[in-house]
């Protein structure tokens, strides 16, 4: 009888501990997957892939993946001779141009790619001039090679994609081009 009570107590304790362990970690939702098509990014394909991997290494609520056959991409990436820019159509959807003008001036291509993809993920330009701020874009020194979002930028992207009811973001066009000397803003 004593042995049965001890066994029952042990089973209860293990079951209770199992409930505590199982209940202590919230279930994580699968990240929202955004597909990008870099087939028209010409010499920037590898850099665009690197920009996507930068976001994938940090964000848990969203993943950027190359588009697969039969899928429509959320993001289309192009190369041209102008300034890099992004045009969003909604959160997680839009177009990115990897403009050669910024690269020719010495800006770091992986930073440009991660920055422009940041717009697609819902981040605005923040022209702080700080290299630590990915979304400071061309306001940071040309020598800046930081291609990773800071904690505030990452937190905003995580919040944008936290639930299946994704936040509404108005269509917007962002241009990497630095402010003109003497211009306000």
* Per-residue pLDDT tens over the stretch 125-153: 999 999 999 999 999 999 999 999 999 99
pLDDT band at 20 (very low <50, low <70, confident <90, very high): very low
Q: For residue 43, is pLDDT > 50?
A: yes
Q: Can you give the pLDDT at residue 168? A: 62
Q: Say if domain 32-175 classifies as CATH 3.40.390.10.
A: yes
> What are the two backbone dihedrals, phi and then psi, of residue 132, each rounded to the nearest 5 degrees?
-65, -20
Q: For residue 83, is pLDDT > 90?
A: yes
> What are the two backbone dihedrals, phi and then psi, of residue 40, each rounded to the nearest 5 degrees?
-105, 15
Mean pLDDT on 104-108: 97
Q: Can you give the pLDDT at residue 175? A: 81
Q: What is the pTM assigned to this prediction? A: 0.78
Q: pLDDT exceeding 70 applies to what percent of the chain?
A: 76
Mean pLDDT on 22-38: 75
Mean pLDDT on 164-176: 68
Contacts of 82 (CB under 8 A, 6+ apart): 97, 99, 100, 101
> Are the CB atoms for 75 and 94 separated by under 8 Å?
yes
Q: Can you give the pLDDT at residue 28? A: 64
CA atoms 141, 80, 53, 49: torsion sign: negative
Active centre residues (catalytic): 116
Which residue, 67, 23, 19, 21, is CA-closest to 45? 67
> Are the CB atoms for 98 and 84 separated by under 8 Å?
yes
Mean pLDDT on 61-86: 97
Mean pLDDT on 17-41: 71
Mean model confidence pLDDT for the chain: 85
Mean pLDDT on 10-21: 47
């Amino acid at each position: 009888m004593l042995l049965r009570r001890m066994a029952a107590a042990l089973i209860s304790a293990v079951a209770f501990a199992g409930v505590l362990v199982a209940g202590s970690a919230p279930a994580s939702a699968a990240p929202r997957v955004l597909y990008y098509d870099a087939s028209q990014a010409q010499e920037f394909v590898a850099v665009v892939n690197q920009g996507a991997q930068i976001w994938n290494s940090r964000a848990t609520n969203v993943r950027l993946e190359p588009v697969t056959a039969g899928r429509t991409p959320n993001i289309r990436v192009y190369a041209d001779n102008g300034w890099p820019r992004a045009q969003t159509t909604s959160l997680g959807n839009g177009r990115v141009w990897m403009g050669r003008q910024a690269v020719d001036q010495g800006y770091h291509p992986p930073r440009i790619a991660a920055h422009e993809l940041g717009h697609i993920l819902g981040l605005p330009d923040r022209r702080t001039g700080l290299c630590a701020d990915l979304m400071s874009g061309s306001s940071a020194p040309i020598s800046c090679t930081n291609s990773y979002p800071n904690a505030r930028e990452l937190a905003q992207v995580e919040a944008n994609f936290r639930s299946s009811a994704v936040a509404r973001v108005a269509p917007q066009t962002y241009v990497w081009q630095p402010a003109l000397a003497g211009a306000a803003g």
